[in-house]
């Protein structure tokens, strides 16, 4: 019985491996200690496609009220998925215990098995930008390693509790307390003995198929300082407001526009819908975004998540907009005024705008190469 073992670090390779495996295999078992919106969003669409194609998935998530690390919004999204697939194709359970700490993915189709095990949780850091250590094991169902790992998973799944709405409400109320505490801790003086993580030495190469977008960080760029606060090791966000879009973008265009009229009578409903359509469906992973407003380029980044995700806002005056996409920032410098011809291209009235001008694209590429 062959046994192929490979090492897998966090980053695009890890994300691609998980997504590909979800779509290729027919039975999936996942057990992770922590799940956050930015990590779950990396695989959410793949999970939906797999379930639509008849895949069977069992999912165990750590939801410790003592730690409050898993995002409450993710628990809600898992419940929605469970509700949609009532034929037992998607089963989700949880552990409210700080001692539940695995990071395990098991994929099976017929006799073939793939196991990914290591240190990566389903968080933005765990799948993208932390220093992690994972291994991929490919073998058959007859190998002892599969039997051992699968038996352990079955034991965990049997002892876990079913995820319910009552628990998610309880967890959400407690997670807000954890968030307030973490914000207080974040204000502590920086630890002079902290050790920076190693960064890749590879130069970024722009995909020839990448599309370029302008995204305005609020009027006159007022949101930029909030976006910048979200950056950890070059990974951050771009975001838009109109929080109700999260609930209506699955509707037809006319239905969505009617909803916008009811919820926000002071906006131009068709414009808001078109902006949401660009952010949700037209902007793709690997595309380049330019944070620009009122004659200033604040930053240039690459979209790294499959789809937008929604983050509940607690203070609209001190937090970024709620509808977000993950971005790897490729160029951040002091606010830069581009040449007039480039500014004329970027200075559009809308929040999101497709950049097609060749000179503007060449200018953006030059900034990226400078790093």
pLDDT in tens, 40-81: 989 999 999 999 999 999 999 999 988 888 998 899 999 999
Query: What is the helix (H) or strand (E) element at residue 50, kind and residue range?
Result: helix 44-52
> What count of residues does the chain have?
371
Strands (E), 101-223: 103-109, 112-118, 134-140, 161-162, 212-215
Q: Are 226 and 319 in contact (CB under 8 A)?
A: yes
Strands 288-293 and 134-140 turn out to be unpaired
What is the pLDDT confidence band of residue 172, given thresholds at 50, 70 and 90? confident
Q: What is the DSSP string of 197-251?
A: PP---PPP---TT--EEEE--SGGGTTHHHHHHT-BTTEEEEEE--TTHHHHTTS
In angstroms, the Cα distances linking 304 to 16, 107, 286, 327 are 11, 24, 6, 5
Q: What pLDDT is recorded for position 319? A: 67
What is the pLDDT confidence band of residue 193, given thresholds at 50, 70 and 90? low
Q: Which residue has the higher pLDDT, 182 or 238?
A: 238
What is the pLDDT confidence band of residue 218, given thresholds at 50, 70 and 90? confident
Decide which of 3.40.640.10, 3.40.50.300, 3.40.50.720, 3.30.870.10 is the CATH code for 4-180.
3.30.870.10
Q: What pLDDT is recorded for position 282? A: 94
3-state secondary structure of 122: strand
What is the pLDDT confidence band of residue 236, given thresholds at 50, 70 and 90? confident
Q: What is the DSSP string of 247-298?
A: HHTTS-HHHHHHHHHHH-TTS-HHHHHHHHHIIIIIS-TT-EEEEEETTEEE
Residues β-bridged to residue 299: 291, 332
What is the percent of the chain with per-residue pLDDT over 70, rounded to a whole number?
88
Instruction: Delimit the domains of the chain by residue range.
Output: 4-180, 212-370
Supply 285's token pair: 């992973």
Q: Are 225 and 259 in contact (CB under 8 A)?
A: no
Q: What pLDDT is recorded for position 200? A: 43
pLDDT in tens, 294-303: 899 999 999 9
| Contacts of residue 358, Cβ cutoff 8 Å, sequence gap at least 6 | none
DSSP code of residue 128: I
Q: How far apart are CA 220 and CA 222, in angstroms?
A: 6
Closest C-alpha among 55, 37, 65 to residue 124: 37
Query: What is the helix (H) or strand (E) element at residue 339, kind and residue range?
Result: none
Count of alpha carbons within 13 Å of 98, Cβ hemisphere only? 5
Mean pLDDT of 12-31: 92
Q: What pLDDT is recorded for position 11? A: 82
CA max distance for the chain: 67
Supply 238's token pair: 């771009």
Q: Are 82 and 51 in contact (CB under 8 A)?
A: no
pLDDT in tens, 139-161: 999 999 999 999 999 999 999 99
Supply 263's token pair: 């919820």
Query: What's domain 212-370's superfamily in CATH?
Result: ph1033 like domains (3.10.590.10)
Supply 70's token pair: 């898993």
Supply 161's token pair: 């509790």
- Using the predicted structure, report yes or no on whether residue 191 has a pLDDT greater than 60: no
Q: Are 336 and 297 in contact (CB under 8 A)?
A: yes
């Amino acid at each position: 019985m062959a046994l192929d073992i490979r090492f897998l670090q966090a980053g695009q390779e890890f994300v691609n491996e998980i997504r590909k495996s979800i779509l290729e295999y027919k039975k999936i078992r996942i057990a992770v200690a922590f799940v956050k919106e930015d990590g779950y969003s990396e695989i959410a669409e793949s999970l939906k496609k797999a379930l639509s194609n008849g895949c069977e998935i069992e999912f165990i998530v750590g939801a410790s009220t003592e730690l409050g690390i898993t995002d409450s919004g993710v628990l809600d999204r898992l419940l929605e998925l469970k509700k949609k697939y009532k034929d037992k194709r998607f089963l989700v359970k949880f552990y409210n215990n700080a001692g539940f700490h695995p990071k395990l993915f098991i994929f099976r189709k017929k006799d073939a098995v793939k196991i990914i095990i290591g240190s990566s949780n389903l968080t933005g850091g765990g799948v993208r930008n932390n220093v992690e250590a994972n291994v991929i094991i490919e073998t058959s169902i007859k190998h002892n390693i599969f039997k051992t790992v699968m038996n352990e998973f079955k034991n965990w799944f049997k002892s876990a509790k079913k995820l319910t709405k009552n628990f998610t409400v309880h967890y959400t109320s407690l997670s807000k307390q954890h968030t307030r505490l973490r914000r207080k801790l974040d204000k502590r003086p920086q630890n002079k003995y902290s050790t920076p993580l190693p960064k890749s030495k590879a130069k970024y190469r722009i995909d020839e198929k990448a599309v370029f977008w302008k995204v305005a960080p609020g009027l006159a760029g007022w949101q930029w300082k909030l976006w910048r606060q979200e950056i950890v090791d070059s990974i951050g966000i771009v975001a838009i407001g109109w929080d109700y879009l999260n609930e209506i973008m699955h509707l037809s265009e006319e239905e969505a526009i009617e909803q916008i009229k009811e919820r926000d009578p002071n906006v131009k409903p068709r414009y808001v819908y078109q902006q949401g359509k660009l952010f949700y469906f037209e902007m793709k992973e690997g595309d380049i975004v330019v944070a620009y407003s009122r004659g200033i380029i604040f930053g240039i980044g690459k979209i790294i998540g499959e789809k937008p995700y929604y983050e509940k806002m607690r203070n609209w005056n001190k937090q970024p907009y709620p509808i977000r996409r993950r971005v790897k920032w490729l160029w951040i410098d002091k606010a830069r005024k581009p040449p007039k011809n480039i500014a004329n291209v970027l200075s559009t009235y809308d929040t999101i705008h497709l950049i097609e001008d060749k000179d503007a694209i060449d200018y953006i590429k030059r900034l990226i190469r400078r790093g």
